[in-house]
Amino acid sequence: MSIVKTRTAKSKAAMDEAKGVMPGGVTANIKSFAPYPIVMKKGEGAYLTDVDNHSYVDYLLSYGALMLGHGHPRITQALNENIERNGTWLFGAPHQLEIDFGKMIQHYYPSMDLLRYTNSGTEATLLALRLAEAYTGKHKIAKFEGHYHGGHHQVLYSIDPHEEDAGLAEAPIPVPDSKELKNISRNETIILPFNNLEQTEAILRKHHDQIAALILEPLQSGFISATQAFMDGIRAITDELGIVLIFDEVKTGFRVVMGGAQEVYGITPDLTTLGKVIGGGFPFGIVGGKKDIMMESAPNHDAKPQDVLFHSGTYNGHPFILAAGLATVEVLREEIDHVNERTALLRKSLEQLFKEKGMPMQTLGMGSVFNIVLTNEEVRDHRDYLKSDFTRRRQIDMALLDEGIYTKPVNRYSLSTSHGDNEIEKTIDAYRNVLNQL
């Protein structure tokens, strides 16, 4: 591919140098792809520019975090005003913006009686599970095959398992997604089959006296939707069995609609985790939910340490990030419907283009996020997704880099308020060129 051999020589040189500084040349494994990732030097609006001065329409958007695109002036203004007003960028003490921001979140996520701030989505899911364990006195968790909830031990199972390792579809077994887990007991994490209510209920009933929480992505990987009947059933079963239901909306919060997937499905989870979009491009996470559960972390100066769930963080509720988040919401109030409309237009146009070429393809997703899946068969879970044509998808994605369309190969697409008609037209033309070549 020319993107590897000729156009990105400076990226290759930079990554070779980076390997002398960081393991594999990256600070996060997801940033790496074969033969090497493209190194960027500038972002503006819907575009990224790499170190070889090639421009790309950015559909990765920092894995969906940059809902306003790169360098949005409303966020820049909010940050500057924050410094001028506060005289500092960090208090290390309570401040009014923590309250104001929290009330805004509660408006869009009324399931959050109370909430806590964290510094990432991973921290948010970790805190949510700890809260559930403290509240229930139980210590196993249940998660679905194919769902990602961050980089801590309990949830690093069966995110992207090979089918031959994963057991029966109706009764998946935990497959480690990290090397150190090979020598750790898998008994604390129970794996469930997504969108299969009958088998999920059977597994939950079998282990209900040990399961503190069921954590799930309402849209698996941000694009495979749960059915309404499945979500309704999960809510009823977890209520009955005393299992804390956690919606991990790090990917879907403020992306599908303002109130996330729980608004779409009409489900009130016990706990919700947020991140990505709501941080405005800065490291951020939120855990919120039922008062009785959240109060497990409330400080009690008269209690012994072992009687209160400890949660802290120097940067929790950082004024800079809350200011950026508020600015993001102010823009989305006005523009999220337009982003979703443009996303629907792009999806429809790409599906029509593949149909004209006689190539199997469907787009899956909701709101402003979707993925391109090269199969005409129904995709309801991870195993269905594995049957799509990943080899051809990687070929297309690598060729699209040559055409100035950027996402990490095989990753989902996210749109921002900066993606307009010109960017959509450019994307459709790029796909047409690539499909003609193939």
Count CB-CB contacts under 10 A for residue 317: 23
Cα–Cα dist 151/437, whole Å:
39
Q: Which residue in the block uniquely carries the two structure tokens 């990226």?
A: 11
Neighbouring residues of 431: CB distance < 8 A, sequence distance ≥ 6: 350, 353, 396, 400, 405
Helix (H, G, I), strand (E, B) or coil at 52: coil
Distance CA 394, CA 391 (A): 5
- The tokens for 155 are 């949830």
* Residue type at position 180: E
Whole-number Cα distances in Å, 220 to 43, 59, 365, 371: 29, 19, 9, 11
Exactly one of 248, 381, 384, 402 is catalytic; name it.
Answer: 248
**DSSP character at residue 39:** P
* Cα-based distances in Å from 271 to 110, 200, 419, 423: 11, 20, 32, 37
Residue 136 contacts residue 242 (beta carbons within 8 Å)? yes
From the candidates 47, 56, 108, 148, which is the catalytic residue?
148
Q: Give, for 143, the enclosing helix (H) or strand (E).
A: strand 140-144
Q: Is 117 a catalytic residue?
A: no
Dihedral angle, C-alpha 117, 118, 122, 126, nearest 10 °: -80
Residue partners of 330: CB distance under 8 A and separation at least 6: 74
Task: State the sign of the Cα–Cα–Cα–Cα dihedral 421, 427, 431, 432.
Answer: positive
**Backbone phi and psi for residue 114, each to the nearest 5 degrees, phi listed first:** -140, 160
The residue annotated as part of the active site, out of 276, 384, 406, 431, is 276
Amino acid at 396: I
Annotation marks residue 248 as catalytic: yes
Instruction: Indicate which residues carry an active-site annotation.
Output: 148, 248, 276
